[in-house]
Amino acid sequence: MLMLVSLSIISMALMLFWVAKTQIFVHSKVLIGDDGVGFKLKSTSLLYRRTDFFSGWENVSRVTEIFDNNNGGYYYQIEFKSPNFVANFNPVKDLEAEADRFFSELEHYQENYHINSQLPISGKLQPSNSF
C-alpha cells in the first residue's frame, strides 16, 4: 500500500513538472538586439525562479521552429547553454506584425552568429498569420 501511495505521489510530481515546463504560458516582454536576446515576465509566477533573463548570442546553442498542432501555428524555441534551458516563444493574438518582426530579427541573428537551427527546409523563418 505504501508503495502504491509513493508511486502516485511521484507520478503526480512528474506530471506537475511536465505541465509547468511545457504547458503553461507566461506573458513576457522580449528584447532582441546585437548584444543578445532577453525576456522579462510581465507578472510573477510561482513556477519560475527567474522573472528576467538576458543572454549574449554566444550563449545561444539552437533556434528551432515548431508547428503547434493544437493552435495551428508556429512557435519558436531558443535553447541556451548556461544556464541550460529552453525558452518557447509564441506570438500573442492580434500582434502578428510584431511577431513577424521578432522572427525576422531572430533569423538575422541566427545567420550572423552561426547558431544551429532546426528550421524549415527553406532555411527561412516563415511566421504564420494563423496566430
- Residue-range domains of the chain with CATH: 27-118 (2.30.29.30)
Query: In the structure grid, which three cell numbers stand for residue 101, read together?
Result: 518582426
For residue 131, pLDDT beyond 50: no
For residue 1, pLDDT beyond 50: yes
User: What strands lie across the sheet with 28-33, from one edge to the other?
Assistant: 28-33, 36-41, 52-56
Contact yes or no for 90/25 (Cβ under 8 A):
yes
Q: Write down the pTM of the prediction.
A: 0.69
| Percent of the chain scoring above 90 in pLDDT | 23
Query: In the structure grid, which three cell numbers stand for residue 130, read together?
Result: 494563423
